[in-house]
Structures are given as C-alpha cells and as structure tokens.
Structure 1
Amino acid sequence: MTYVIHGATGAQGAPVVAALAAAGKPVTALTRNPDVAVAGARVVAAGYSSTQALTEAYRGADGVFIHLPITSEEQRQTYVRNIVAAVRAARPARVVFSTSGMPTGTGGTADLLTSGLADSGVSHAVIEPTLYLENLLMPYVMDTVRERGVLPYPIRADLPISWASHLDIADAVAALFDRHDVTGVVSVGQYPAITGADLAQAFGAHFGKNVVFEPITPEQMQTSIAPAIGEGPAADVAGMYAAMNTLPDRSITPENSAQKLLDITPRTTGQWMTDIRCE
C-alpha cells in the first residue's frame, strides 16, 4: 500500500511528498522522468496521457493526489477521462483532487473531474484553493518588489482574496488521506480574505521596507508568463483573472473551510514567506 502523488517533483506535488514522507508514510512519486530521484519516495514514470499507466499506478493505493497541469482545455479533458477511467478500474482507497484554483461551477475540467470522481463510487475529497501565494514568486513580481518597492499583480486593489500556499494544500491533502469522513469540497485559504494592500504590507514587513500594491492588467501578466507556459495557457490564465476582477470577492466560506473541517489554519502571508525562506 502506498500514497500516489502526481507531479511529485513540481510545485504542487513536491510538498505533498515531503509531508507524507515526514509522517513516515510510503509514497509513490509519479513523474515523467523515471531517472529522477525523489527523497522519501519510490519513483514511477506515469502520466495523465495513459489510462493503463494510471490504472497500474493507482491499483492498491491508500491514496492518490491529483491536480491538472496548465495546458489546453482540450488536453485537460483527455486527462480527466483517463483519470476517471483509471480510478474506476483500480479502485484506490481514497482520491484527493485539487482544483488548483481553476474555476468551478462553469462546466470546465475541474467540474468534469469532480463529477467523474463522484460517479466512480471511490472515497474522495476536492480541495478548492483560490489563488496561490507562490504566484507572487514570479520574477515580474519579486524583481519589482526588490527594485522599486512595488508589488504588481493583475487583481483589483479592493478585491479580497483567500490566498493559500502549496504548503497549506499539502497539509490538507495529508489530513484528507486520513479523514475519509470528510468528503465533498474543502476550501483552503486565508480567512478573512485579504486585499492587495494587505499583501504589500506583509511583503514590506518581511523585507523591512515600504512596499505598495500596484494593480496591473491581465494582459500585462499574460505577456510576462507566456514565455514560461506558452501563449495559449497564458491567455487562459489572463482570462481567468479578467473574470475574477468582476467578482465582489474571492473568499472561501467558513462552512466548508479547512479551518472548520480539518482544524487546519492556512499560513498568513508573513508566515509563508518565513517558511519558504523568501529572500
């Protein structure tokens, strides 16, 4: 028996591997490179493009952690079909899926996978974060903070958001693997939600300097991230931020929060910066 973690060397999967390994649990790290070493884990080369490989990886697992990569919507739909087919065939004891901040309630791939897991009859939970604090580590943000004392980001200055870190998600995943009684959606993020000015204040306190928040357009962000993730996915991300800026807030609700359901309080922005040793 083992815990199977997708993207085990990436930003989302690696903290989950570390949390489970630290708890002494057996971990299978799914990667695209079978030659990579993952501390505390057995490495298996398997990706979302092969239902057979996924089925073999999931069979006999105590838990499976899933999150969908940033790629085209069409590709994600293929991945979802493969994942659901593999879960149905392999019947792992538990599946935890993180929406990775993708919009829900719109009929997109996050909803498609959530529905597929529900129909599978396999014990599962869905982690629903809003925005990741790690997004603020992108060079166009951090370089501007360091050089100008300005924190640029494509959100309205007055938009309250329940930010979460990948470390918070890992804490929730580890808890949900043990808490089969908790099903459905679990929202992970700071509560009360905070604004851009609050983010800037936390960055300023951490760096010991005055930092102010500066809203930028989603199109400006798209230009900054396209070289790293591709024009198509960057346009999708920009569209998500444009839609987000029309909302009154992006706050979690206390009723289905990790705070209430799992007794886990996500890190403040300052705590997160300390934990990742941001310099």
Structure 2
Amino acid sequence: MVYVIHGATGAQGAPVVAALVAAGKPVTAVTRNQEAVVDGARVVAARYSSVEELTEAYRGADRVFVHLPLASEEDRLTYARNIVTAIRTARPARVVFSTSGASVDPADGGAASTLASGLAGTDVSHAVIAPTQYLENLLMPYVLDAVRERGVLPYPIRADFPVSWASHLDIADAVVALFDRPDVTGVVSVGQYPAITGVDLAEAFGSHFGKSVVFEPITPEEFRVFVAPLIGEGPAADVAGAYKAMSTLPDRSIAPENSAQKLLGVTPRATSQWLADIGL
C-alpha cells in the first residue's frame, strides 16, 4: 500500500509520517520543496495551488492524509477545491482529512467545509478528523515563556471554559487508525473527554514544571498581536476572529458518540502525558 501524507515536514504531517515509517509502511511525503529530506519516505513536491501536481501525487495512492495550511481564507478555498478536483481525478482508495479545528458546517461556506463536502461528493472512501483545540498552541513562545517566567498560562478563553484539547500526536494516532478502518466514515472528533478548563491546563503545566501556575485569560485581540509575527497578519486576524466567536459558546467539547475513543478505541493523551511525550 502507498501512503501519501501532506505537510510531511510540518507539525501535523510529520507525526503521521513517523508513525507509518515506524510501522514499515511505504510513505510518500508531499512537500512544497522537492529537496526536502524526510526520513524513511519518498518526497514528492506538490503545491496546493496546482491541481495537476496534486493529481499526480494522489495517483495510485491507497491512503492520503490531507489538511489545509495556514493562509488567507480565499487561498484556502482555492486549495480545498483543487484537492477535491485532484482526488476526483486520481481516485485514491481512501482519504483522511483533518479540519485543524475549523468548522465543517456547510452553512459556514469556509474552506474546511468546502473540502469536507467536496470529499463527500467524490464517492471516494474518506473520514474527517475534527479536533477542537491543539495543545501545541500552548508551546508558542509568548505562552510558554509566561509559564516559565511568571507562573501564568495566558490564553484567549475563559478560565472556566471547557475544551477537548488534542495534540498532533493524537491526530496522528487517529489518522493511522482510520487508514486501517475504512469501515469508519464521516466525522470523527478527536480530543480529551471530558473536556478540561484553563484552570485544569494551568495545573497540569504547574505539576510538570514543579511550580505554581495560574491561568490568565486574555482577549482575542491581545492574542492576535502575539501570534501575528509568527503566522502573519491575515491568518492572525482569522484566528482572533475564531476565538471571539468561541467566546459566545458554552464550551468546545467533543461529542462522545462520534469520538475517536468510541469509534476507533483511540484515547487522546492527558495534558500531563503530552508534556512528557514531547520531552518539554
């Protein structure tokens, strides 16, 4: 079987590649740079902006993992449509798509929902992984430095706001499981359940670092200022807008009935276990 993995040198794709390579699977790593080196994998350069390159990358594939990169929503919509066109043409045996936390509600008309609905129209076996929030967001220098230097964990949610956090390692576990379970289709939620609060996060970080850590709610605008130098002004504004919208919700918890725990027997890491696994 041939496994085609997008973002193979990035945060989401790299753990998937590592898991498959460790299992002895033949991996094709899709990157933007043909000169990239990915241990244990064949590298293919394919841009999201090129239907032809994507089609060639997917041709003959048994399994494909795809997610949309950080970019303007206009570009992401273009990428989503290109991916769907390439999949419809190349017809890989199975596709797993991670929403990266974006909505797949067709009424939203966003890139993630466009890709999810497009996949549904291809008749290609597929599943959609739906995380809520990534624990890796807490590794940003502003957050981690505050934990280490001031004993506070700043983040743009309420202290009592329950979230089903997941890590990129958890996503990789779910992807590999879904590759082996073509009987599981539709949306699979990945995240801690029951959901945990900002206070719980701070306690986990405090226990890991052996110090007192308290949660510090910040505004979406403050967060935008902090992340813009890392991801760009446009994506940062989109992220801030998402957190502003989130502030009107009662929680960001997954639903247990379509969780990875129930459908795949895959349990996401507790925050303390994740901190240990990444060797922080």
Instruction: Work out whether the TM-score is over 0.5.
Output: yes
Aligned to 1:29: 29
Aligned to 1:223: 225
State whether residues 65 and 95 of structure 2, in contact with CA within 8 Å, keep that contact through their aligned partners in structure 1: yes
Aligned to 1:111: 113
**1: CA distance between counterparts of 2:49 and 2:268?**
33
**2: CA distance between counterparts of 1:265 and 1:51?**
36
Aligned to 2:192: 190
Helix, strand or coil at the partner of 2:240: helix
Q: Structure 1, residues 63-91: CA drift from partner, whole Å, max 9, x if none?
A: 11010011111101110111001000000
| Larger displacement relative to structure 2 (72-81 or 258-267) | 72-81
Q: CA deviation at 1:241?
A: 0.5
Q: Structure 1, residues 99-149: CA drift from partner, whole Å, max 9, x if none?
A: 001123222111111110000000000000000000000000000000010
Letter in 1 for 2:20: L
**2: CA distance between counterparts of 1:213 and 1:74?**
35
Aligned to 2:85: 85
**1: CA distance between counterparts of 2:11 and 2:53?**
22
Letter in 2 for 1:208: G
TM-score for the superposition, normalised by structure 2: 0.98
Matched, 1:203 2:243: no
Aligned to 1:100: 100
Q: Structure 1, residues 218-245: CA drift from partner, whole Å, max 9, x if none?
A: 1111001111111111000000001111
**1: CA distance between counterparts of 2:23 and 2:205?**
31
**1: CA distance between counterparts of 2:211 and 2:261?**
32
State whether residues 98 and 130 of structure 2, in contact with CA within 8 Å, keep that contact through their aligned partners in structure 1: yes
Aligned to 2:131: 129
**2: CA distance between counterparts of 1:104 and 1:186?**
12
Considering only aligned residues, what root-mean-square deviation do their CA atoms show, in Å?
0.7
Letter in 1 for 2:76: R
TM-score for the superposition, normalised by structure 1: 0.99
Correspondent of 2:245 among 243, 246, 250: 243
Aligned to 1:177: 179
Kindly report which structure 2 residues correspond to 1:148-159, keeping only aligned pairs within 5 A, or say none. Answer: 148-159=150-161
Aligned to 1:45: 45
Helix, strand or coil at the partner of 2:121: helix
Helix, strand or coil at the partner of 2:64: strand
**1: CA distance between counterparts of 2:57 and 2:47?**
10
State whether residues 84 and 118 of structure 2, in contact with CA within 8 Å, keep that contact through their aligned partners in structure 1: yes
Letter in 2 for 1:275: D
Letter in 2 for 1:101: G
Aligned residues: 278
**2: CA distance between counterparts of 1:227 and 1:210?**
29
State whether residues 104 and 114 of structure 2, in contact with CA within 8 Å, keep that contact through their aligned partners in structure 1: no
Letter in 1 for 2:195: A
Matched, 1:14 2:14: yes
Q: Post-superposition, which runs of at least 4 consecutive aligned residues in structure 1 deviate over 6 A?
A: none
Q: CA deviation at 1:11?
A: 0.4
**2: CA distance between counterparts of 1:227 and 1:197?**
27
Letter in 1 for 2:153: L
Q: CA deviation at 1:152?
A: 0.3
Matched, 1:212 2:211: no
**1: CA distance between counterparts of 2:49 and 2:79?**
6
Helix, strand or coil at the partner of 1:120: coil
Letter in 2 for 1:186: V
Identity across aligned pairs (percent)? Answer: 77
State whether residues 67 and 100 of structure 2, in contact with CA within 8 Å, keep that contact through their aligned partners in structure 1: yes
Letter in 1 for 2:18: A
Letter in 1 for 2:77: Q
Correspondent of 1:147 among 146, 149, 172: 149
**2: CA distance between counterparts of 1:227 and 1:186?**
32
